[in-house]
């Protein structure tokens, strides 16, 4: 089992706008220098997220329960620059009514 301090921890969310749902990745202020291509690691974070959450049902739940301007956090993904997934904490959000 990997040490949870290995790799970089990326926070994952969905930003709700009037027209769409935008996948967002919050990058740590200090990131491993081996990450050279921001688009590549953001794509990797997205792939890991949708491997662990059902994309369609997650987006439907967000679209029906959250308002434009809100950013809904799904959790985090911890990765090494070689693409190794060290850990993830992801869940579909639920709005308490």
For residue 25, the Cα-to-chain-centroid distance in whole angstroms is 5
In a domain, 1, yes or no: no
Residues 70 and 54 sit within 8 Å (Cβ to Cβ):
no
Domains of the chain: total: 1
Per-residue model confidence as pLDDT tens digits over 42-75: 999 999 999 999 999 999 999 999 999 999 999 9
Range(s) of the domain holding residue 59: 8-90
Q: How far apart are CA 7 and CA 46, in angstroms?
A: 16
Q: What is the pTM of this model?
A: 0.85
Q: Give the model's pLDDT for residue 97.
A: 36
Q: Which two tokens stand for residue 39?
A: 């688009």
In a domain, 96, yes or no: no
In a domain, 97, yes or no: no
């Amino acid at each position: 089992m990997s040490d949870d301090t290995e790799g970089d921890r990326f926070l994952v969310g969905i930003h709700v706008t009037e027209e769409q749902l935008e996948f967002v990745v919050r990058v740590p202020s200090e990131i491993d220098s081996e990450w050279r291509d921001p688009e590549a690691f953001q794509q990797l974070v997205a792939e890991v997220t949708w491997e662990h959450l059902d994309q369609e049902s997650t987006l439907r739940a967000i679209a029906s329960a959250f308002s434009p301007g809100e950013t809904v956090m799904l959790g985090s993904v911890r990765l090494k620059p070689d693409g190794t997934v060290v850990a993830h904490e992801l869940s579909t959000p639920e709005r308490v009514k």
